[in-house]
Amino acid sequence: MVLLQNTTYEPLTESSAAALAIRLRLFPEGSVLTVSEIGDGNLNLVFRISDHESGQSVIIKQALPYAKVVGESWPLTLKRATIEANALSVFKKLAPNYVPEVFFSDEIFAITVMEDLSHLTIARTGLIQGEDFPLLPKHIGEYLAKTLFFTSDYGLKPAEKKELVGKFINPELCKITEDLIFTDPFFDAPTNDFEEGLRKDAEKLWADEELKLEAALLKKSFLTETESLLHGDLHTGSIFANNDETKVIDPEFAFYGPAGFDLGQVVANLLFQQIANPEKQRKTSSQIRVFWKTFSQEYSKLWKEQNTDPLSSNDRFLAYLLEKYLQDAAGFAGCELIRRTVGLSHVADLDGIQDKVKRLDAKRTALQLGSKFIKNHRTIKSIEDLIG
């Protein structure tokens, strides 16, 4: 790529990121740029580059060859940057209002240059600070109805779907999820990370054979079902929002999997707010209701109007499918609640509770709710059963 000076990968610095932005003609020659590295996730470098004079700004995201959250001892493929850029391109076509614009991407340098969303707030941070994001549940319901329907066997022609499945084979990132969400939290694994006060609760999980059987069934679904192209890591840290707008970022874990996985991650990450702040229960229940109602209505509309498969194209099949998605979502939400509490990668909603007694109580609630969802997921019939 002529626009990039080096031919081998190297991590960007603030000054090389600014130089790259000029070479990519993102800003006029001679612009005085301000650059800051703002990445606060587990895996990547994120540079915000702005030109005061024109007021323009962009984001350059670069994958590191290891997991930043652990360090260089955990190597990680750079191919995830290409998966992410490709996924953003697919999702942008399907749900344009909810996906940022990508201006440039490069496989060797593992970079994606995209729209700066600094006018929005990371949903997790905003929710913790008491912000409302009134349209977020509706927007994410609509986003998922579109992305999950139009990438499935019911929204694509058979050959197109199989081609996309091949394009999004993502073994390294899937392995992270397989280990950190499905396997490690259910054993005394070295990756687990929890406060000593939770040891007895963790041991209870590890001894619960019924829980582990149901978690194994959910893992089987994750490993084997190619229902739709998933975001793969759709927690509230992957959503930017304000009162009017919602954007879904960071689909580096994208792959073909069970639709309920994305749905369940959204549900679990909304529930962390209720668990941390029991007084928010009504609000969280209402968010989850709106999210599910929007998803199921939009999905049903697309199914009825645009289904490409004549055999399954009837109301009874649709009802079967929506119930399956809901049951899967409940189970996957349970896995997310548990892994964010005793596994490697936590959430600020719970870790940020200053009072130790309250924090441990909240974490115990997350484990209990997670276990309940996993054990009962195959019997759930409606969103009210899930909200409880």
Binding residues: 44, 61, 115-117, 233, 250-252, 339
Please choose, out of 56-64, 174-182, 194-202, 214-222, the segment that lies near ligand SR1 by the rule CB under 6 A.
174-182
Residue 69: which of ligand SR1, Mg ion, none does it interact with, CB under 5 to 8 A by kind? ligand SR1
Q: Does 180 help bind ligand SR1 (rule: CB under 6 A)?
A: yes
Residues 69-98: x where in contact with ligand SR1 by CB under 6 A, - otherwise, as a string? x-----------------------------
Size of the site for ligand SR1 (CB under 6 A): 10
State which residue, 176 or 369, has the beta carbon closest to ligand SR1.
176
Q: Is 345 helix (H, G, I), strand (E, B) or coil?
A: coil
Cβ count within 10 A of residue 248: 24
* C-beta of residue 99 within 8 angstroms of C-beta of residue 117: no
Helix boundaries (H) for 343-388: 348-351, 356-376, 383-387
Cβ count within 10 A of residue 379: 9
Rule CB under 6 A: which of 27-46 touch ligand SR1?
42-43
State which residue, 61 or 139, has the beta carbon closest to Mg ion.
61
Measured between alpha carbons, how far is residue 271 from residues 80, 105, 152 in Å? 28, 35, 27
Q: Both ends of the chain: CA-CA distance in Å? A: 54
State which residue, 11 or 278, has the beta carbon closest to ligand SR1.
11
Residue 235 is classified by DSSP as: S
The token pair at 315 is 């109301």
State which residue, 67 or 330, has the beta carbon closest to ligand SR1.
67
Name which position in 49, 113, 114, 176 contacts ligand SR1 (CB under 6 A): 176
Distance (Å, whole) CA 309 – CA 166 = 21
Q: Does 226 help bind ligand SR1 (rule: CB under 6 A)?
A: no
| Smallest distance from Mg ion to CB 233, Å | 5
Q: Is 120 left (phi over 0), alpha (psi -120 to 50) or beta?
A: beta
State which residue, 140 or 176, has the beta carbon closest to ligand SR1.
176
Among candidate residues 102, 74, 192, 94, the one with its CA nearest the CA of residue 150: 94
Q: Which residues bind Mg ion (CB under 5 A)?
A: 41, 250
Please choose, out of 172-180, 202-210, 266-274, 282-290, the segment that lies near ligand SR1 by the rule CB under 6 A.
172-180
Distance (Å, whole) CA 257 – CA 123 = 25
Name which position in 214, 233, 262, 349 contacts ligand SR1 (CB under 6 A): 233
* Interface contacts to ligand SR1, rule CB under 6 A: 42-43, 67, 69, 176-177, 180, 233, 344-345
